[in-house]
Amino acid sequence: MGMYDTIMVACPKCGERNAFQTKGGDCLLDCWPMEDAPKDALENVNRHAPSPCEECGATLDFDMSGERPVALLSPSNVKMDRDVSR
């Protein structure tokens, strides 16, 4: 079995911490909260995303466009504000 590190990511909907494996960084089976994780460990925190929250079931994804990833709800969680069936 390969080595990895774990990043604990708070669900934007319920706040529950969810584990995401990363192959970025040293991969020494370390575990960090996302806000304290080394930058290199965050490089592929999204490798198993989108993924359901273990507590509320919301689908978690990541915005990887900034300096550090941001956890967000997947578009599949967003309800339409208007009726598109017409």
79 secondary structure, DSSP code:
P
Instruction: Please check whether residue 24 lies inside any domain of the structure.
Output: yes
Total tally of structural domains belonging to the chain:
1
Q: Is 22 a member of any domain? A: yes
Residue 19 and residue 41 in contact, taking contact as beta carbons nearer than 8 Å: no
Summarised one tens digit per residue, pLDDT across range 28-79 is 999 999 999 999 999 889 988 899 999 999 999 999 999 889 999 988 776 5
Question: What pLDDT does 83 receive?
Answer: 46
Q: For position 79, what pLDDT does the model report?
A: 55
Residue 33 pLDDT? 96
- Backbone φ, ψ for residue 28 (5° rounding): -115, 25
Confidence of residue 1 (pLDDT cuts 50, 70, 90): low
Smallest Cα–Cα separation from 8: which of 26, 27, 35?
35
Residue 42 sits in which domain range? 5-77
